[in-house]
Structure 1
């Protein structure tokens, strides 16, 4: 992702050697994203090359990070394809680089599918449900740090940068989400560890096979439905350079929901609140992109995402989510 901390080759080499990952031969910064410093690191051990990802955390603290790293290690142990943090001789998986928290994980094979088909969406829906079921046994707990309390804190910060119609939309939607969160149906939603950022660029495929979910550093305990809605809002939306941008793709959405339900059927409360969570997912990413766009941090290779896309997604969800979700659930139940 963006490079905020320049890591010297020698420092990285020493860390990888301490983790028994071999001799470092190549270190290159990763472009894209905006949260942490990431490097691809190639090592050689016993004559064989291995690929790793070194992450230096810029916002998350030493106190917050054990949740994310141990969740990844737990899920990997449950057979969910996620990067597994490397431990030192004492079993520690949280390390330090230039006084900042850091981790090293194995690099997943394959590439991201930025133009997904229904088959890709089925694979993601299936694995997301399996991850949710597996995660129920994870004993650590930490709230989704980009959840409703963060929305309430951050909306006033971005409001001065918005036009009149944008400000009206974000105020109205925030009030709606607070209303939803106060209801009994919301309280009844099944919960557990969620990825909360499972966009197309956080999933790997190799020759059509889903090889893993990665970048768990927005994970937290939240509703499984919110996690599914975040996926639907990226995998099953048109990403276009015209007025179609942000519109719903029904075929891909039906495929994802049907695959998810075949593993973990949605509860009555989840069916009731799917429209609200589609809106919540759109609000969360519109808000975070507004924040990053208007209040950026200095970083080498930094490219903040244009927030306009998720403004369009939210407007579409507000207009159409109720009808869309009813149709999707009915058809997905038949398909499942």
Structure 2
């Protein structure tokens, strides 16, 4: 992630004494993304990831960390949050909320084949089912309300054509949000940011999902759409790769069958997923924050994806296996 808050080894050595992890041996900033300050740390007991939260509050964080623990206890491959000696999962570092989680094995698969997409689809379905009885609730903080709040902040920077595209899609999603189909969609905790760089593989073996800090409660099919819009595309054009789409959807459907309502909502949700990330990238591009290492993403990538999802047919949720 972009490093907004600096942490030295001396800082870490003092702070980490409250955790049952032994002496801090090393710390290295992770330079990807733009939301939190992340670091790989090594202690006498192993390797971990330290996150300092730049936007989320002490009150919001228990939802994410307890969700990760809940999922891990039910067989979903996710990092395990580490509690301090007082049993707290979130403590202050440099005046900001911070947490430590276990480090997953493997590496991100940035050039996925259908076999990787199938593994992601199956684990995503397992994650959705495992979260059904999670007792805490928090809405998806980057859904419709946020779109309404953020759109006016980026409109002054856009051409007339892009302003029209953005406002028309928000209006379309408003209308779909009010339909009985949308209200009937199965819901629960979602990852909401399951891109290639948030999943680890060892060869063809999936070793874990991570970075749950955009998670919230939303329609499960929206989570599937976010995932397909990253894992199953030609990154140069945004066009869907049908073989990868089918691998992911078929694997998901075998674990948790899609509903009729989800089939109807599939194309609107692919559009919603594209809109969500186009808008967030527009905001981060035009309203940047100071950071030591900042890697803003190109908004045009999800603009292209949104145009394609609006204009072209998409593979259906289910097909003959």
- Give the shorter-chain TM-score range: over 0.9
Aligned-residue RMSD, C-alpha: 0.9
* Greater Cα shift, 191-200 or 13-22: 13-22
Q: Whole-Å Cα distance in 2 between the matches of residues 234 and 180 of structure 1?
A: 23
Correspondence 1:306 to 2:298? yes
User: Which of 127, 130, 143 is the matching residue for 1:147?
Assistant: 143
Q: Which residue of 2 aligns with 1:329?
A: 317
Q: Whole-Å Cα distance in 2 between the matches of residues 15 and 200 of structure 1?
A: 32
Q: Whole-Å Cα distance in 2 between the matches of residues 42 and 211 of structure 1?
A: 20
The alpha carbon displacement at 1:11 in A equals 2.2
Query: Contact 2:193/2:215 (CA < 8 Å) preserved in 1?
Result: yes
Summarize deviations over 1:211-231 as a string: whole Å, max 9, x none.
000000000000000000000
Correspondence 1:44 to 2:36? no
Query: Contact 2:253/2:318 (CA < 8 Å) preserved in 1?
Result: no
Q: Whole-Å Cα distance in 1 between the matches of residues 306 and 154 of structure 2?
A: 16
Correspondence 1:111 to 2:107? yes
Superposed, which structure 2 residues align to 1:228-247 within 5 Å?
Answer: 228-240=224-236, 245-247=237-239
Superposed, which structure 2 residues align to 1:158-237 within 5 Å?
Answer: 158-237=154-233
Structure 2 unaligned blocks of 5 or more: none
Summarize deviations over 1:206-256 as a string: whole Å, max 9, x none.
12110000000000000000000000100011112xxxx111111100110
**TM-score of the superposition, structure 1-length normalised?**
0.94
Summarize deviations over 1:100-146 as a string: whole Å, max 9, x none.
00000011000000110000000000000000000001000000000
Q: Which residue of 2 aligns with 1:29?
A: 29
Q: Whole-Å Cα distance in 1 between the matches of residues 293 and 224 of structure 2?
A: 30
Change (3 A) 1:60 1:330: closer
User: Which of 53, 63, 66 is the matching residue for 1:57?
Assistant: 53
Correspondence 1:275 to 2:267? yes
Superposed, which structure 2 residues align to 1:128-143 within 5 Å?
Answer: 128-143=124-139
Q: Which residue of 2 aligns with 1:89?
A: 85
Structure 1 segments of 4 or more deviating over 3 A? none
Structure 1 unaligned blocks of 5 or more: none
The alpha carbon displacement at 1:164 in A equals 1.5
Q: Whole-Å Cα distance in 2 between the matches of residues 150 and 230 of structure 1?
A: 17
Q: Whole-Å Cα distance in 2 between the matches of residues 72 and 16 of structure 1?
A: 21
How many residues get paired? 321
The alpha carbon displacement at 1:68 in A equals 0.5
Q: Which residue of 2 aligns with 1:255?
A: 247
**TM-score of the superposition, structure 2-length normalised?**
0.98
Q: Whole-Å Cα distance in 1 between the matches of residues 92 and 86 of structure 2?
A: 14
The alpha carbon displacement at 1:330 in A equals 4.3
